[in-house]
């Protein structure tokens, strides 16, 4: 039986944000593809509030001011009922201000700590600095690794992230050298040839996706990948694929948007059946987009409305909601999920924990 719900028209319109340009464009197509899979799965189960779920996808990698204006204008039409997706960090605050609590907004990866609390806005998982620290602690427990070099792409988000990481690191961990490279750098010899690098167990890479791809290739070409690990927040399957399997040995990542082994296999099967020929990679950022759509649907369906005040009233009464990917546990403006650690295996990520 179809639920009555408020008068939302013939469809439940979701504005989904996925990067199509800039340093995050590498994983934008997979974000959009997984979000559309989620919408299809929701529609196979009677949609949201009995309405067909429809996605309008906006570029989440462009100018933040222009994106904010576009989001605000679309919400003002009264047709958009929610915002989901995986915009780059510099666009999140602009989107939050544009949404301004008028509709629910769920971001698919990480609370970067740069945006203040906004009613109706939720983010999946922990600050990416804390996620990276999960890997660092695990590598120490498993292998005794504790001597690190920090390499940063020279732009605002990376420096803020690096500052958080420095605060989290404590003995026995030590960062004894730091380097910065310009965005788009192709020559990493000043880093790779520096004698201090020989003292490190591994490198903490706070780099754009494109910079990480180029650095990984250069790093592997030196032979260091056999004896030094790399850890970083921007590693996903798209970065691994772009770098090629030879560039990815001893790369580790922690994420709250990684499915477990069984869920991953099932998702890839559904994804392959849905798109059939040559779809984008199923990456962890894309999985965050997938989760953002399903989390939104689970929340609105349980509350019976997309109205932000009603959602917050419901969250005061309960914090766990069920969706096809499993439980969504809300805590303030975060959706908490298990933190899993993965290692690069060719151009894929193999989950090691959880």
Give the CATH number for residue 63: 3.40.50.2300
Specify whether 160 is located in the same domain as 245.
yes
pLDDT digits (tens, 9 = 90+) for 111-142: 665 566 788 999 887 666 778 888 999 999 99
Longest dimension (CA), the chain: 69
Residues 323, 282: one domain?
yes
Task: State the pTM of this model.
Answer: 0.89
Backbone dihedral angles phi then psi of residue 170, each to the nearest 5 degrees: -145, 160
Q: Indicate whether 352 belongs to any domain.
A: no
Same domain, 228 and 201: yes
Dist CA 31 CA 156 (whole Å): 24
Torsion sign (Cα): 91, 94, 99, 100: positive
**Collapsed DSSP state (helix, strand, coil) of residue 307:** coil
Q: Identify whether residues 328 and 282 lie together within a single domain.
A: yes
As for how many domains the chain has, the answer is 2
Domain identity same for 248 and 324: no
Q: What angle do CA 273, 47, 291 make, to 5 degrees?
A: 65
117 occurs within a structural domain? yes
Residues 22 and 83 in one domain: yes
Q: Is residue 4 part of a domain?
A: no
- Domain-located, residue 21: yes
Q: Which of 76, 77, 53 is nearest to 5 (CA)?
A: 53
Do 282 and 327 have their domain in common?
yes
Q: Is residue 162 part of a domain?
A: yes
Whether residues 245 and 134 fall in one domain: yes
Assess whether 139 and 246 both reside in one domain. Answer: yes
Phi, psi of 333 (to 5 degrees): -100, 20
The residues with which 330 forms a beta bridge, in sequence order, are: 335
- Pair 114, 136 in one domain: no
What is the rounded average pLDDT of the residues 302-325? 91
In a domain, 219, yes or no: yes
| 27 within domain boundaries | yes
Domain holding 50, by residue range, is 11-126+261-338
In this predicted structure, what is the pLDDT of residue 313? 93
Given a cut of 70, is residue 247 above it in pLDDT? yes
Nearest CA-CA partner of 108 in 240, 231, 19:
19
Model confidence over 192-240: pLDDT tens digits?
999 889 999 999 999 988 999 999 999 999 999 999 999 988 888 889 9
Same domain, 287 and 216: no
Does one domain contain both 134 and 234? yes
């Amino acid at each position: 039986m179809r639920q009555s719900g408020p008068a939302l028209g013939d469809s439940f319109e979701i504005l989904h944000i996925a990067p199509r340009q800039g340093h995050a464009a590498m994983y934008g197509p997979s974000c959009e593809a997984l979000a559309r899979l989620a919408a299809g799965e929701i529609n196979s189960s009677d949609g949201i509030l009995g309405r067909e779920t429809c996605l309008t996808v906006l570029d989440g990698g462009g100018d933040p001011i222009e994106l904010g204006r576009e989001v605000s204008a679309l919400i003002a039409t009264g047709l958009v009922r929610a915002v989901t997706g995986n915009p780059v960090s510099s666009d999140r605050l602009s989107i939050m201000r544009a949404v301004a609590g008028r509709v629910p907004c769920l971001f698919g990866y990480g609370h970067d700590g740069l945006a203040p609390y906004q009613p109706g806005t939720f983010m999946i998982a922990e600050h990416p600095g804390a996620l990276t620290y999960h890997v660092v602690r695990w590598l120490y427990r498993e292998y005794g690794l504790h001597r690190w070099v920090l390499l940063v792409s020279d732009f605002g988000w990376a420096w803020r992230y690096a500052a958080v990481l420095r605060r989290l690191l404590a003995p026995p961990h030590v960062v004894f050298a730091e380097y910065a490279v310009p965005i788009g750098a192709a020559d990493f010899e000043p880093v790779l040839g520096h004698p201090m690098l020989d003292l490190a167990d591994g490198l903490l890479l706070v780099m754009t996706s494109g910079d990480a791809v180029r650095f990984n290739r250069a790093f592997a070409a030196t032979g260091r990948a056999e004896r030094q690990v790399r850890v970083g927040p921007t590693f996903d399957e798209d970065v691994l694929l772009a770098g090629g399997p030879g560039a990815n040995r001893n790369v580790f990542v922690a994420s709250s948007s990684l499915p477990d082994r069984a869920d991953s296999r099932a998702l890839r099967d559904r994804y392959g059946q849905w798109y059939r020929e040559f779809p984008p990679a199923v990456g962890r950022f894309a999985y965050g987009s997938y989760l953002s759509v399903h989390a939104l649907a689970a929340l609105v369906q349980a509350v019976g409305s997309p109205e932000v005040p009603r959602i917050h009233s419901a969250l005061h009464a309960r914090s766990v909601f069920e969706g096809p990917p499993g439980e969504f546990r809300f805590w303030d403006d975060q959706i908490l999920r298990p933190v899993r650690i993965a290692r690069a295996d060719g151009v894929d990520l193999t989950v090691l924990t959880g």
